[in-house]
Structure 1
Amino acid sequence: MATNLTGIELFVIQRVKEVRIAKGLSQEKLSLALNKGVGFIGDREAPSKKAKYNINHLNEIAKVLDCSPKDFWPECPIK
């Protein structure tokens, strides 16, 4: 099923997933650490979903993952 997400949104979702996995957190544990429902991260990482992160989400995720919000962004614009 195709999504309506843009290239930059898909990039950011993938980067959050990569950092989350590298830090050893499950989708559920990260969701709960953000005081969100257990499916919050899974809803964004699922290819069939249209859910995306906002800037506040990325800042809070960076706090939990002990990284910079910049770690989720590409070095160059997405074409």
Structure 2
Amino acid sequence: MAKEVTPKTKIELKIVDLVKTRRNKLGRTQSDIAKLFGVTRGYIGQIEMQNSSSMYSFDQLNELAKYLECSMKDFVPEHPV
């Protein structure tokens, strides 16, 4: 079986998963995050899609940490991937 290739790296996928998990835990939607950044809900959807190269910037991750009441460290896996 061929290895699946995605536009996102393993670390990017993990970061997106950690943000999404925290977002869901607090009951926040893609639309809520979109409003925070002044972008469309579809753009946040693209970030959360495995087959899209769209990704949060470090500045956006910092703002997400404030909004989701956590540390930026919460968006980084404990061990290398």
Query: 1:55 maps to what in 2?
Result: 58
TM-score (norm 2): 0.84
Query: 2:75 maps to what in 1?
Result: 72
RMSD of equivalent CA atoms: 1.6
8-17 vs 44-53, greater mean Cα deviation: 44-53
SS of 2:14's equivalent in the other structure is helix
2:22 to 19, 23, 29: 19
**Which consecutive unaligned segments of at least 5 residues does structure 1 have?**
none
Separation of aligned partners in 2, 1:77 and 1:41 = 25
Contact 1:34/1:64 (8 A) holds in 2: no
2:49 to 31, 35, 46: 46
Separation of aligned partners in 2, 1:63 and 1:34 = 13
* Counterpart residue type for residue 28 of structure 1: S
TM-score (norm 1): 0.86
Identity %: 37
* Counterpart residue type for residue 76 of structure 1: H
Separation of aligned partners in 2, 1:68 and 1:51 = 22
1:35 to 2:38 alignment = yes
1:10 to 2:13 alignment = yes
The total of aligned residue pairs comes to 78
